[in-house]
């Protein structure tokens, strides 16, 4: 299922001055990201502030981005919630919107067991013809989708990939060992993309690609081509960016970074708040070091 590509951007949701979704800016951002190296876009994921978007806003974003990028990139809809029935509803809407796949995060807050996780993901997957990418992030959901559960889910025909954000290369290695080669393993952390490639990963669902998509694309391509030294050099050059974009809750830093880079995407809906002056200075210093400031919109 290589149709997702290797560099997928978890896209922010642009807001106007009233904190309404700015759909025109979203379309422009989607085109910009594809022009700068993204093979796919996750719409209404964590980075897209999904918890504070209404269903209507999410569905309109799915349509907006699909129309903006056409078939130049995969459009992956974030449709996972803590309610299986609601997740199925959003997944059907994503299918109607012409999305290429859906991203399903672990159900959050209600802390399902491993069997509950399996039954949830299986039920959503069986409700659609779309390919499904799982999203495992214990830090946001309070539950870890364990490798054995992922292996069971990989046997469901249209569950074809996982965004692994456990932060554990041991867990990622175990998932790779337990799943078939065609099951795609993506890093959910920019700083772990290169190490994950070394243990059988396919690519990254990235935040940093908002700023450095071409470089991340080059890092992965050079590694796949066998030039590990060049890939490592790119990784180390970008490492300060990977880290500074998580000095506070995502997507606060990346929205600040985009503004500093000349592509303002507006503020954030409460309970998230803008980066502090100190955080903006830290972000700005890294962007300046990498020559990413004052990029024309």
> What's the rounded Cα separation, in Å, for the pair 273 and 211?
21
Termini Cα distance of the chain:
33
In contact, 48 and 78? CB cutoff 8 Å: yes
CA angle at residue 59 from 54 to 64, to 5 degrees?
120
The domain locations on the chain are: 2-228
> What's the rounded Cα separation, in Å, for the pair 190 and 176?
18
What is the set of active-site residues?
135, 163
pTM over cut 0.85 = yes
In contact, 193 and 216? CB cutoff 8 Å: yes
Cα dist from 61 to 42, 70, 242, whole Å: 11, 14, 26
Looking at residue 294, what is its pLDDT?
A: 60
CA dihedral 201, 206, 208, 212 (to 10 degrees): 70
CATH code of the region 2-228:
3.20.20.70
Q: Half-sphere exposure (CA, 13 Å, Cβ side) for 53?
A: 28
By C-alpha distance, which of 108, 188, 168 is closest to 140? 108
Looking at residue 293, what is its pLDDT?
A: 84
- Residues 6+ positions from 59 with CB-CB distance below 8 Å: 90, 93, 94, 97
Looking at residue 149, what is its pLDDT?
A: 98
Which parts of the chain sit beneath pLDDT 50? 1-2, 295-297
Looking at residue 295, what is its pLDDT?
A: 42
Rounded to the nearest 5°, which phi and psi values hold at 140? -100, -20
Looking at residue 86, what is its pLDDT?
A: 98
Residue 245, helix vs strand vs coil: coil
Residue 114, helix vs strand vs coil: helix
Residue 3 DSSP label:
G
Looking at residue 45, what is its pLDDT?
A: 97
Looking at residue 296, what is its pLDDT?
A: 39
Q: pLDDT digit string (tens) for 79-97? A: 999 999 999 999 999 999 9
């Amino acid at each position: 299922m290589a149709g997702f590509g290797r560099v997928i951007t978890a896209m922010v949701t642009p807001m106007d001055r009233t904190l309404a979704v700015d759909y025109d800016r979203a379309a422009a951002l989607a085109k910009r990201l594809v022009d700068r190296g993204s093979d796919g876009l996750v719409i209404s994921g964590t980075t897209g502030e999904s918890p504070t978007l209404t269903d209507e806003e999410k569905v309109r974003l799915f349509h907006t981005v699909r129309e903006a990028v056409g078939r130049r990139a995969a459009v992956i809809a974030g449709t996972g919630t803590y309610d299986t029935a609601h997740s199925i509803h959003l997944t059907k809407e994503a299918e109607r919107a012409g999305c290429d796949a859906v991203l399903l995060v672990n159900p959050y807050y209600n802390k399902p067991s491993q069997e509950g996780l399996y039954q949830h993901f299986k039920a959503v997957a069986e409700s659609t013809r779309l390919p499904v990418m799982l999203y495992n992030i214990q830090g946001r959901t309070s539950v870890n989708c364990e490798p054995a559960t992922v292996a069971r889910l990989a046997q469901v025909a249209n569950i074809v990939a996982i965004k692994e954000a456990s932060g554990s290369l041991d867990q990622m290695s175990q998932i790779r060992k337990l799943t078939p080669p065609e099951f795609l393993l993506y890093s959910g952390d920019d700083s772990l993309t290169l190490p994950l490639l070394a243990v059988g990963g396919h690519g990254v669902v990235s935040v940093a690609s908002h700023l450095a998509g071409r470089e991340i694309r080059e890092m992965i391509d050079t590694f796949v081509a066998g030039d590990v030294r060049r890939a490592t050099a790119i990784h180390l050059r970008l490492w300060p960016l990977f880290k500074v974009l998580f000095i506070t809750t995502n997507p606060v830093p990346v929205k600040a970074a985009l503004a500093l880079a000349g592509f303002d995407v507006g503020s954030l809906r409460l309970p998230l708040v803008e980066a502090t002056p100190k955080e903006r200075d830290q972000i700005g210093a890294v962007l300046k070091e990498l020559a990413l400031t004052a990029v024309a919109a």
